[in-house]
Structure 1
Amino acid sequence: MFKLVSALALLMAAPVMAQTPSPAITDPAPDAALPAGNDAFVLPVKDGAINALIYTASGAGPHPTLILFHGFPGNEQNLDLAQAARRNGWNVLTMHYRGSWGSPGAFSFGGAAEDAHAALAYLRNPAIMAKYHIDPARVALAGHSMGGFMAADAAADDPAVIGLLLIDAWDIGANGRDLATAAGKQAWHEEALGDLPPLAGTSEAALASEITTNIDRFDLRRRIAAYGKRPIAIYGATRGIGDANIGYSEAARTAGNLHVTGAIWATDHAFSDKRIALSLALVAWLDALVPPRR
């Protein structure tokens, strides 16, 4: 049985009179000296580059920082979540993997994983930490769909990451096993038809080959186990891939992680009718990682 505790449920269970309006739905008072802002830049990586945007929180900081990874191909950018986190005092880095949405280079799943690691390393650069008032000891990762794998992959390899949030995450390796069947090949074909247009330098066949020849490399449960005992929140969608996300929580617990939260909600893969709920859950989870100053 799925026994995850919803951070949103805990938030809403608190006495109403004791609550401060959540940054998920309330603008903060502006800081005249150091207001919130955006900064776009290009981060070079191997044979391409990452087009990135950082949402900077107001105030001198140093600020906790969230990296938010989109999915395959990333039609749902989840930028409302980035805005909610920034209102909560967090910087948020978003990006397009090389070969996606105009980022130079060729797209591949392995390349996207390298890009996730590169984005995390970028935040560790002393000059970047100073420029954006980043606290390197308070960095968390979040990802939707394929971005869930990318977040888990980078977090597993960086023990300084303080938290990991998965949003209806996709186990790429599991699809590699499915591709051994006729039904799996047909499902992949139908998926690729709609997902390939924003991606450059790849094809349906190339991505299928990459998955089937690297099943263990793209096994999300293994990466969750490697992440260890740090806080992890897993939100799945019943009309998406929620059943698989239940398994991710089990994988985390099997690895000895006692800090697993989240829920499976009756919604679609993009959480189309749960955006406010998801923002509230994100803010509550961030507050659990880093107690708010507000």
Structure 2
Amino acid sequence: MRAIWLMGAALAVVAAPAVAKEPAFHRAVIADPAPDPNHPAGMSAFVIPARDGAMNAVLYTAAGPGSHPTLLLLHGFPGNEQNLDLAQAARRAGWHVLTLHYRGSWGSPGTFSFGNAAQDARTALDFLHEPATASKYRIDTTLIAIAGHSMGGFVAAAAAAEARDIAGLFLVDPWDPSATAAAIATPEGEATWRAEVAGDLPPLAGASYDLLTGELKADPARFDLGRRLVAYGRRQLTIIGAERGMATMARKVAGDAQSANPDARLMIWPTDHSFSDRRVALADALVRWLSALAPITR
């Protein structure tokens, strides 16, 4: 009897249908798509005028016919980590990606400031929505999203809060400048901030410790990330914080966002501010988030 039972069990195991497992990573993260000879992927470099200066910009264009959804990808302060691996993954997934350097940063004409960077993000969104831009680069203006890292998270949220035609907002270990404004009221906080700014000034034109710090102190409410996320409302929002980075800020502003949008999502990963050991996972999270976005209705 035992032998018959064992034989039956073995047959049952052999006959059991295989259960499909979800791939560990989205295909666009780990594999190139088939080339499209008629509508190949590409890259265009240009300058976007911005008030008293301009932004040096690059648009990564996805392969395939017709219009494409587009991601505005914003780097932090000063922008040593530009997250271009995320741009490439999003393009492989069928998205155009616009990257840029704010006025006064990395050779872009003009003066760098935190306020100017926030304005620049909105200028870039306006550029993507211009009929001439959308026609030339085949941009689907009903499906434009923004992603920002560190300071880029703040400027992304500031722009998205004002622009009602944004389908989603994806923040990577975002910086809340208002929290820094509060911290520099103490000698310890000011010393930490001074050391950080000193190392970040070289690629920035027209910026100094006194000017940047004065900007934060003069109007902390203007730089309150949590307020911007509340104003952003109930649209799609994901925040991924870094435990060894700005996780405390991420948790706080996520709570603010969830007061207006219970569906806002927060994840905290055990990594550093640059996600140095989670780059593939970060690209996967972004691509899966993009693939779930729906076009806005006008």
TM over 0.5: yes
Compute the displacement of 1:183 (Å). 1.1
- From 229, 240, 243, the equivalent of 1:238 is 243
Structure 2 matches for 1:142-291, cutoff 5 A? 142-255=147-260, 257-290=261-294
Match of 1:85 in 2: 90
Compute the displacement of 1:58 (Å). 0.7
Q: Which amino acid letter does the alignment assign opposite residue 273 of structure 2?
A: H
Gaps (5+ residues) in structure 1? Answer: 1-13
Match of 2:110 in 1: 105
Q: Which amino acid letter does the alignment assign opposite residue 35 of structure 1?
A: P
CA distance in 2, matches of 1:21, 1:279: 9
The runs of at least 4 aligned residues of structure 1 exceeding 6 Å deviation read 17-20
Compute the displacement of 1:21 (Å). 5.3
Q: Which amino acid letter does the alignment assign opposite residue 227 of structure 2?
A: R
Write out per-residue CA displacement over residues 53-83 of structure 1, whole angstroms, 9 at most, x where no aligned residue.
0000111231110000000001000000000
TM-score by length of 2: 0.90
Q: Structure 1 residues 171-180 or 211-220, which shifts more?
A: 171-180
| C-alpha spacing 1:15/1:281, structure 2 compared with 1 (3 Å) | farther
Match of 2:119 in 1: 114
CA distance in 2, matches of 1:131, 1:147: 26
CA distance in 2, matches of 1:33, 1:179: 55
Contact 2:26 2:284 in 1 (8 A): no
Match of 1:6 in 2: none
Structure 2 matches for 1:25-104, cutoff 5 A? 25-104=30-109
Write out per-residue CA displacement over residues 112-143 of structure 1, whole angstroms, 9 at most, x where no aligned residue.
11100100000011111011110111000010
CA distance in 1, matches of 2:121, 2:82: 15
| C-alpha spacing 1:20/1:113, structure 2 compared with 1 (3 Å) | closer
CA distance in 2, matches of 1:55, 1:101: 19
TM-score by length of 1: 0.91
**Residue 123 (1) aligns with residue 131 (2):** no
| C-alpha spacing 1:262/1:177, structure 2 compared with 1 (3 Å) | closer
CA distance in 2, matches of 1:201, 1:193: 14
Structure of larger gyration radius: 2
Compute the displacement of 1:211 (Å). 0.6
Q: Which amino acid letter does the alignment assign opposite residue 37 of structure 2?
A: A
Compute the displacement of 1:84 (Å). 0.4
CA distance in 1, matches of 2:240, 2:198: 27
Larger RCO, structures 1/2 (Cα 8 Å, 6+ apart): 1
CA distance in 1, matches of 2:25, 2:193: 46
Compute the displacement of 1:248 (Å). 1.8
Q: Which amino acid letter does the alignment assign opposite residue 28 of structure 2?
A: P
Q: Which amino acid letter does the alignment assign opposite residue 276 of structure 2?
A: S
Contact 2:237 2:265 in 1 (8 A): yes
Q: Structure 1 residues 175-184 or 122-131, which shifts more?
A: 175-184
Compute the displacement of 1:153 (Å). 0.5
Task: Name the Cα RMSD after superposition.
Answer: 1.6
Compute the displacement of 1:181 (Å). 1.3
CA distance in 1, matches of 2:254, 2:105: 30
Contact 2:251 2:266 in 1 (8 A): no
Q: Which amino acid letter does the alignment assign opposite residue 103 of structure 1?
A: S
Q: Identity of aligned pairs, percent?
A: 55
CA distance in 1, matches of 2:32, 2:160: 30
- Specify the SS of the correspondent of 2:27: coil
- Specify the SS of the correspondent of 2:30: coil
- Specify the SS of the correspondent of 1:216: helix
CA distance in 2, matches of 1:181, 1:249: 25
